[in-house]
Amino acid sequence: MFGLGLNGYLPDSHHDATVALRIQVAPDEQYIPQHHHRKGQLILALRGAITCEVEHARWMVPPQFAVWIPGGMPHSNRATPQAELCFLFIEPGAAQMPDRCCSLKISPLVRELILALAQRPGNAGKTPQTQRLQQVLFDELPQQAEQQLQLPVSAHPKIRQMVETMEAQPAQWQTLSQWARYFAMSERNLARLVVKETGLNFRRWRHQLQLILALQLLVRGLAVQQVAQSLGYDSTTAFITMFRKGLGQTPGRYLAGLTTSR
């Protein structure tokens, strides 16, 4: 299974400071159920996208972003078909990484360092050259900007159904009233349920999901107008306004920042 190893590889069976793997996800290996390991894990999406679920949150990471999972934290992973990923396993304390799950905007330098380590033989971790690469990586990783690409979720069946349906059909499921009718409950009670289970009101919660989906579509090459239509926006301007409020930049400027160095 792609999340735990490759050809029998288990991350916690090695005590190197870091181990990098570059993996092409096979169609029958897109999902791995909840597990954990002692090492922290950085999952970098090179192509396609990866969704990582931890308790009370779902992290949906498009290409050129990564999700950081501290060691010992239970999580499950789901990749899009034919995704290409890099897994970076880091010994606890080897780098100054956050003690919580978070998404990171990966700079071109850090991306190339991870790829370089992934290309080295499994026994190259003790060579001076590899150790120097690791040290540069450990210096750079804590400088990567955190991004708000998490969606609060819960085990409540109504919340999970809303997430899965809005992911698959974002343009068709836009309003609280639609969902209230579907669940045969009042809008007030459903609004309270969303706040109780996610900590956000329905509008903010839906916008957070839309923001994550928008990034996935934009990085895949869709035009801003196409993305706006895919998410059910009547105007491109309204979509750009939502995107700017969420990430502080227009979609065009944000995408341009993915291909330039810090």
Q: Per-residue DSSP letters for 59-87?
A: EEE-TTEEEEE-TT--EEEEE-TT-EEEE
CB 107 within 8 Å of CB 262:
yes
pLDDT digits (tens, 9 = 90+) for 239-253: 999 999 888 889 988
The residue assigned the tokens 């290996």 is 29
The full set of domains in the chain, from first to last, is 11-147 (2.60.120.280), 155-258 (1.10.10.60)
pLDDT digits (tens, 9 = 90+) for 71-94: 999 998 888 777 889 999 999 988
Looking at every residue in the chain, the average pLDDT score rounds to: 85
pLDDT at 139 over 70: yes
Q: What is the pLDDT of residue 159?
A: 94
pLDDT at 46 over 50: yes
Cα–Cα distance for residue pair 254/114, rounded to 1 Å: 23
pLDDT digits (tens, 9 = 90+) for 158-168: 999 999 899 88
pLDDT at 5 over 60: no
CB 209 within 8 Å of CB 246:
no
pTM of the model: 0.78
Q: What is the pLDDT of residue 190?
A: 97
Confidence of residue 174 (pLDDT cuts 50, 70, 90): confident
CB 173 within 8 Å of CB 179:
yes
pLDDT at 28 over 80: no
**CA proximity to 225, closest of 237, 213, 215:** 237
> For the ranges 3-12, 238-247, 249-258, which has the lowest average pLDDT?
3-12
CB 162 within 8 Å of CB 179:
yes
pLDDT at 96 over 50: yes
Confidence of residue 13 (pLDDT cuts 50, 70, 90): low
